[in-house]
């Protein structure tokens, strides 16, 4: 058989396969995006209703930057923000790029560099009007808080809520599978166990859907935070549940011990999942965060 015909046939088959894959990806994307838009309606600004970032003006010269977790929204930090504001703190609940919005925006904007830049910018802005600026981060927000604390020794205190630091082997396979899959979106596994409170679970506004690039960005932040734990000397409160479905107790103990702050404290919860700021023990979490910041005026 003429090799030219073979080559032409191979090229044609490749083009046909590529077209089929593109069409399949488009249909999968449309299905995910339509379902998400129906479940999480968005306002005129494109942000999911209820997932907007918030700014609560306080009555003192102190402020707190709140950082939510990966694939979550400021809504998960709203109760803690209200508690902090009630005792005088100005509170900025930052919405990280790619979060609390449409799935296409998640795919475009969820990048490690964008998250770090947004956190630094918000921290700097609070410093322009407040004498002391504290930081409290949850899950990936906790890892971002670690990165910020490592480079800002002037921070009076930091609170880490179930920080997602490093990458445990049991989670590594999820990241690898996402990278290998041609699907544009992936369901986030196990998220229903992150909140034990059924009311809080129904109120949560995360999409439960991720992209491979977003997972890679999370991995970058988690590993970068692990690498600078030894540089953190800011007074640190570390809070985690023994029932955390994302971060093991062993990892929490290891990362707490790696923090070099001489003034640090670890609190273990026993009735919550991973999103502890909104779960069954949210009042205990808020009490301890407030007490920690008040100790470091």
Alpha-carbon gap, residue 229 to 127, rounded angstroms: 24
Alpha-carbon gap, residue 215 to 124, rounded angstroms: 27
Between helix 78-86 and helix 282-295 the angle, nearest 10°, is: 40
Neighbours of 24 (CB within 10 A): 13
Q: Which pLDDT does position 8 carry in this prediction?
A: 54
Q: Which pLDDT does position 14 carry in this prediction?
A: 46
Q: Which pLDDT does position 12 carry in this prediction?
A: 47
Task: Answer yes or no: is 69 within a domain.
Answer: yes
Task: Answer yes or no: is 181 within a domain.
Answer: yes
18, 24, 28, 51 from 14: Cα distances, Å: 6, 15, 21, 43
Task: Answer yes or no: is 168 within a domain.
Answer: yes
Task: Answer yes or no: is 142 within a domain.
Answer: yes
Q: Which pLDDT does position 5 carry in this prediction?
A: 53
Neighbours of 134 (CB within 10 A): 26
Task: Answer yes or no: is 37 within a domain.
Answer: no
Q: Which pLDDT does position 192 carry in this prediction?
A: 82
Task: Answer yes or no: is 22 within a domain.
Answer: no
Q: Which pLDDT does position 173 carry in this prediction?
A: 66
Task: Answer yes or no: is 33 within a domain.
Answer: no
Q: Which pLDDT does position 25 carry in this prediction?
A: 74
Q: Which pLDDT does position 28 carry in this prediction?
A: 82
Residue 248, helix vs strand vs coil: coil
Task: Answer yes or no: is 28 within a domain.
Answer: no
The CATH number given to whatever domain includes residue 131 is 3.40.50.1820
Alpha-carbon gap, residue 85 to 93, rounded angstroms: 11
Whose CA is closest to 88, among 294, 234, 296, 286? 294
* pTM over 0.85, yes/no: yes
Could you tell me if 42 and 101 are in contact, meaning their C-beta atoms sit under 8 angstroms apart?
Answer: yes
Q: Which pLDDT does position 183 carry in this prediction?
A: 82
* Domain that residue 282 falls in: 54-295
Low-confidence ranges of the chain (pLDDT < 70): 1-22, 171-179
- Considering its fold, how many domains does the chain have in total? 1
Q: Are strands 54-56 and 90-94 parallel, antiparallel or unpaired?
A: antiparallel
């Amino acid at each position: 058989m003429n090799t030219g015909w073979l080559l032409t046939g191979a090229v044609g088959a490749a083009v046909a396969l590529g077209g089929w894959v593109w069409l399949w990806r488009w249909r999968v994307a449309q299905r995910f995006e339509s379902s998400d838009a129906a479940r999480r309606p968005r306002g005129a600004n494109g942000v999911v209703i209820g997932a907007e970032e918030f700014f609560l003006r306080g009555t003192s010269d102190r402020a707190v930057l709140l950082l939510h977790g990966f694939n979550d929204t400021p809504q998960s930090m709203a109760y803690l923000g209200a508690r902090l504001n009630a005792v005088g703190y100005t509170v900025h609940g930052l919405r990280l790029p790619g979060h609390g919005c449409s799935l296409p925006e998640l795919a475009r904007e969820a990048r490690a560099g964008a998250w770090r830049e947004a956190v630094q910018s918000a921290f700097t802005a609070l410093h322009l009007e407040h004498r002391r600026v504290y930081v409290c981060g949850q899950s990936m927000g906790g890892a971002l808080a670690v990165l910020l604390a490592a480079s800002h020794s002037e921070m009076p205190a930091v609170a880490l809520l179930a920080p997602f630091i490093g990458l445990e082997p049991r989670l590594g396979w999820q990241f690898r599978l996402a990278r290998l899959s041609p699907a544009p979106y992936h369901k986030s596994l196990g998220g229903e166990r992150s909140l034990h409170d059924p009311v809080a679970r129904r109120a949560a506004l995360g999409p439960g859907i991720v992209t491979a690039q977003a997972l890679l960005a999370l991995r970058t932040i988690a590993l970068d935070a692990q690498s600078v734990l030894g540089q953190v000397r800011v007074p640190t409160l570390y809070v985690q549940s023994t029932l955390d479905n994302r971060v093991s107790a062993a990892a929490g103990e290891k990362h707490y011990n790696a923090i070099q702050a001489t003034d640090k404290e670890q609190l273990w919860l026993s009735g919550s999942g991973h999103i502890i700021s909104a779960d069954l023990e949210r009042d205990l979490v808020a009490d301890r965060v407030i007490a920690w910041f008040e100790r470091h005026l």
